[in-house]
């Protein structure tokens, strides 16, 4: 038994695990900023998407089409390498953020999740039955009250599973930020691979940590579904 433990401790996976683990805080920091900001902006964009103002709706639809139609990796490169090559931006206050790999990663992840989240929320808003909206109007609700009391609560409950998938995809998408030299978990795994020429052990360690993060994300989404869907609490 002692020999087995010693073999595990001497294995590359075990050693690499703790090195990659040191980048977990950087990965979490990316998510802590991009996900809440992306959630709020996605809701706003979804409301604009279903707006009767055609120019607003079409502008947002074009933005969503462009972002969903291009790879996240390309978007990261355009923000990190592309914007930095523009002289006007380098001489403006924006350069203080855009010269940092972290903020470029946050901006790219936020822009990406806003596009996908807006479409998810739009589907939830448009799935609400007219009778529910008419009931609120008959009670004298203003448009703001109707939105706050009926439309958003119902829409958010309906889209929780779909938006949960988007959150999981965002966790995995943070690995692409390592290509901007930002040292999160995948960045450290690539650094280990370059030093040891052992890619399998390095990326197995990273994969275990991503799996753990996504496990926590799945449990969080399940909890929200249980909390905001009364029928699930009755069946539990």
Pure H helices in the chain: 2-10, 12-21, 24-49, 54-69, 72-77, 87-90, 95-98, 101-126, 130-138, 143-146, 152-173, 185-196, 199-228, 230-235
Backbone angles phi, psi at 211, to 5 degrees: -65, -40
pLDDT tens per residue across span 177-196? 998 888 889 988 888 888 88
pLDDT tens per residue across span 16-38? 888 888 889 999 999 999 999 99
Average pLDDT, the chain: 86
Task: Determine the distance from the C-alpha atom of residue 31 to the mean position of all C-alpha atoms in its chain, rounded to a whole number.
Answer: 7
pLDDT tens per residue across span 119-160? 999 999 988 888 887 788 787 888 888 888 888 888 888 899
pLDDT tens per residue across span 66-90? 999 999 999 999 998 888 788 888 8
Q: Please state, in angstroms and rounded to a whole number, the distance separating the CA atoms of residues 124 and 132.
A: 14
The residue among 168, 169, 165, 209 whose CA lies nearest residue 187 is: 209
Question: At residue 100, does pLDDT exceed 60?
Answer: yes
pTM to 2 decimals? Answer: 0.88
List of domains in the chain? 1-23+183-236 (no CATH), 29-181 (1.10.3720.10)
Q: Please state, in angstroms and rounded to a whole number, the distance separating the CA atoms of residues 189 and 215.
A: 20
Question: At residue 165, does pLDDT exceed 60?
Answer: yes
- Can you read off the two tokens belonging to residue 226? 């249980």
Q: Please state, in angstroms and rounded to a whole number, the distance separating the CA atoms of residues 181 and 65.
A: 28
């Amino acid at each position: 038994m002692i020999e087995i433990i010693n073999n595990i401790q001497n294995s590359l996976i075990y050693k690499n695990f703790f090195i990659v683990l040191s980048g977990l805080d950087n990965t979490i920091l990316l998510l802590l900023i991009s996900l809440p900001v992306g959630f709020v902006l996605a809701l706003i964009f979804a409301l604009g998407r279903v707006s009767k103002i055609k120019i607003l709706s079409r502008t947002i639809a074009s933005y969503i089409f462009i972002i969903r139609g291009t790879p996240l990796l390309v978007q990261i490169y355009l923000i990190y390498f592309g914007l930095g090559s523009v002289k006007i931006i380098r001489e403006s206050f924006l350069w203080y953020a855009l010269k940092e790999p972290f903020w470029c990663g946050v901006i790219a992840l936020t822009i990406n999740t806003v596009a996908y989240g807006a479409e998810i929320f739009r589907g939830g808003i448009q799935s609400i039955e007219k009778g529910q909206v008419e009931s609120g109007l008959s009670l004298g609700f203003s448009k703001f009250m109707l939105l706050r009391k009926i439309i958003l609560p119902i829409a958010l409950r309906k889209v929780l599973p779909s938006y949960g998938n988007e959150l999981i995809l965002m966790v995995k998408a943070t690995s692409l930020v390592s290509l901007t030299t930002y040292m999160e978990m995948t960045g450290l795994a690539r650094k280990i691979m370059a030093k040891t020429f052992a890619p399998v052990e390095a990326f197995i360690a990273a994969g275990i940590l991503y799996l753990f993060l996504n496990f926590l994300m799945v449990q969080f989404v399940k909890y929200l579904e249980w909390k905001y869907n009364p029928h699930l609490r009755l069946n539990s």
